[in-house]
Amino acid sequence: MTKAMDSVLRVGQGGETHQQADKSEKSAEARLTTNQGIRVSDNQNSLKSGERGPTLLEDFVLREKIFHFDHERIPERIVHARGSAAHGFFQPYESLSDLTRADLFQRKGEKVPVFTRFSTVAGGAGSVDTPRDVRGFAVKFYTKEGNWDLVGNNIPVFFIQDAIKFPDLVHAVKMESDRAFPQAGSAHDTFWDWASLMPETTHMLMWAMSDRAIPRSLRMMEGFGIHTFRMVNAKGKSTFVKFHWKPKLGMQSLVWDEALKLQAADNDFHRRDLWESIATGGFPEWELGVQAFDEKFAAKLPYDVLDPTKIIPEEVLPVRMIGRMVLDRNPDNFFAETEQVAYCPANIVPGIDFTNDPLLQGRLFSYLDTQKSRLGTANFHQIPINAPKCPMMNFQRDGQMQMAVPVGRANYEPNSLADHGEPGGPRESPVTGFSTFPGQDAAGEQGDKLRVRPELFADHFSQARLFWKSLTDSERAHVASSFTFELSKVLLEQVPARMIGNLRNVDDELAQRVADGMGIKLPKKTTPRADVVDMKPSDALSIHKNMKPTLEGRVVGILIHDGSDATAVAAVKKAVERGGGRCKLVAPKIGGAEMQDGSVLKADGQLAGTPSQLFDAVAIVLSEEGCQALLNEAAAVQFVMDAFGHLKTIGANEEAQPLLDKAGVQPDDGITGLGKDFIAAAGQRFWDREPKLRTLA
């Protein structure tokens, strides 16, 4: 046998010879083929002229494989580039025929498929999961009447009132154009220069500098439609609505130091958390609620409901819960689904309609234009993740990547081809089809087309003050500290003073704390365009006031070492799981640790690469010898120190006390044993501990 023939036989897929592969072909279920369906005999070696000769151009298997690889990446989203998503379903609690004729809201309990994507805004696709940033919250409902995309954020307001300012916002917050940094962060000159000159950003900045911008988990954050939309019922009656998503697990946030350390410990913390929760059956769930109101109610409010920088506090108008969303299946392929999914606020169904919100109106154009640019074709709606699950037919034809094969001559209307025995194509549905609500908008305002904003849009500070006054003392400290941190990164010396001057319109205490943190004299208050009014505080705006003291959906890290008590470990694990949580074992070695009884418990994570910021609470179960060994492990001391510093519950047996002492742990209600006291405390953060640990603004 020649060397050339030997090389052909020697290397086959999976290391077997092609002779062996041929023998197994009859039993194999899948065949490797080209994109044309031609079976491939060798996917490991290119075709050459002789054993050491040049590669031949006729090797169509090589050419197709390399060609496709060269074009695997598509342009990433300009904003919301880094995202994670999941499949699931939506179920209405009752018929909403009083509000809307939309089919998905007509029958109690009927499941509607959804695909939901969460994202950061400022960073690129390769950035980290846990920066201080707004989070996108986009839901695609595959209804019987077509796709409805509810495309919002985890914050109910936005930076700007008019879409014409959106390019300026994104240019300012993205990495600076001359130096291409910083990535995925607003703590730099251009953003704060722009924001300080735009008082309408103030309310959003309060939210963005709060703990809302550093969520513990995608499963533990709220979502909002931001804009005022309409619902229209079968009788043609219009009702204004604002959409709210409320997480079943309640809200939870990170501590800022914890968020920073997670960027080093696990760039994919939120993505991994979502994936693992679904994979292990802990399906994330939200309730969908609406604030429904009419024009008469809107006219009485001291702000304009078409202003996307404003909310209607829940104490003024309660949220009516209308259904639930459960995410119960991870994507099969990240690129095909999560990356190629195309959301567009213009995708609505009969019974839902727009308002004249100037930011929403711009989004209706921008998203469609963006999707065509990203996905390279007007036929992006035919990609499976974007395709409706109901019949779809029209006279649109051809275009790049056309997947449908329309038959017949009918590609125009009106036509009379059906009169001659030919298919005439689809026809309009005057009764059941979508029709735009014909009435006037809020307060009946119509008239000449002007480049102006309504008078009520000019109040940029009242709701920012409302947000500040609604927070707990700890949350206020976090907001002040966040402004201080962000502005400390600004090198343009006039910007911090200007921004703090704006904050004086929110609250002088806030402005003073930020000025003190910056080490500058309290600047003069900027002059607001409208009178700032005091509004009644809203508990619904506070994370801390709405946190659930529960283990459900939480993860507890159990630190063990050789000699640990297996019974104690099992007891903690059982109690946590009974409370709805999950446990992960952490040990110095990934192989685990040998217990006191001789059994070996395999670790879920190695101590050096599994810091405590990955968990909601920690339990330390050590023997005296194991504890002494870990006193010399910097990672072990840091594990405990960070859990304490991040205000988490630490449960420990008596033998582990020296490790707690070395980590500087001081007794409080969050430092417990391993029994019921640990389980009762493990779902909480202990905010009273924070002032003892770090200086806050």
Active site residues: 80, 153
Q: Which H or E element spans position 102?
A: none
d(CA 468, CA 313): 13
**Residue 18 and residue 10: Cα distance in Å, rounded?**
8
**What is the token pair recorded at 283?**
């399906």
Coil, strand or helix at 559: strand
Backbone angles phi, psi at 321, to 5 degrees: -80, 125
Distances (CA, A) of 105 to 86, 109, 415: 22, 9, 36
The answer to whether 122 and 139 have CB atoms below 8 angstroms apart is no
* Residue type at 170 in one-letter notation: V
Question: Which tokens sit at 383?
Answer: 């990609």
**How many other C-beta atoms can be found within 10 angstroms of the C-beta atom of residue 143?**
22
Question: Residues 6 or more apart from 266 whose CB is under 8 A from it?
Answer: 129, 272, 614
Distance CA 36, CA 42 (A): 16
**DSSP per-residue letters across 637-688:** HHHHHHHHHTTBEEEE-GGGHHHHHHTT---STTEE-SSHHHHHHTT-B-GG
Please state, in angstroms and rounded to a whole number, the distance separating the CA atoms of residues 14 and 671: 53
Q: Residue 365, Cβ neighbours under 10 Å: how many?
A: 13
DSSP single-letter state for residue 400: T
Is residue 85 within 8 Å of 116, Cβ to Cβ? yes
Q: Which DSSP state fits 33?
A: B
Q: In angstroms, rounded to a whole number, what is the distance separating the alpha carbons of residues 224 and 243?
A: 6
What number of H helices and E strands is found in the chain?
19, 18
Beta strand pairing call for 593-594 and 600-601: antiparallel
* Encoded tokens for 332: 């099969």
Residue-wise DSSP of 202-257: HHHHHHHTSGGGSBS-GGG--EE--S-EEEE-TT--EEEEEEEEEETT---B--HH
- Could you tell me if residue 580 is left (phi over 0), alpha (psi between -120 and 50 degrees) or otherwise beta? left
Distance CA 257, CA 341 (A): 33
Count CB neighbours of 275 within 10 A: 15
How many other CB atoms sit within 10 Å of the CB of residue 301?
Answer: 15
Determine the Cα–Cα distance for residues 501 and 515; give it in Å rounded to an integer: 10
Interatomic CA distance for residues 290 and 245, integer angstroms: 9
Residue-wise over 221-249: b if at least 16 C-beta within 10 A, else e? bbbbbbbbbbbbbeeeebbbbbbbbbbbb
Helix, strand, coil percentages for the chain (3-state, nearest 5): 35, 15, 50
User: What's the rounded Cα separation, in Å, for the pair 437 and 448?
Assistant: 20
Nearest of 10, 12, 49 to residue 32 by alpha carbon: 12
Residue for token digits 């209607």? 312
Cis link prior to 611 (omega < 30° from 0)?
no
C-alpha 534/C-alpha 480 separation (Å) is 20
Q: From the CA atom positions of the chain, what is the Rg in Å? A: 29
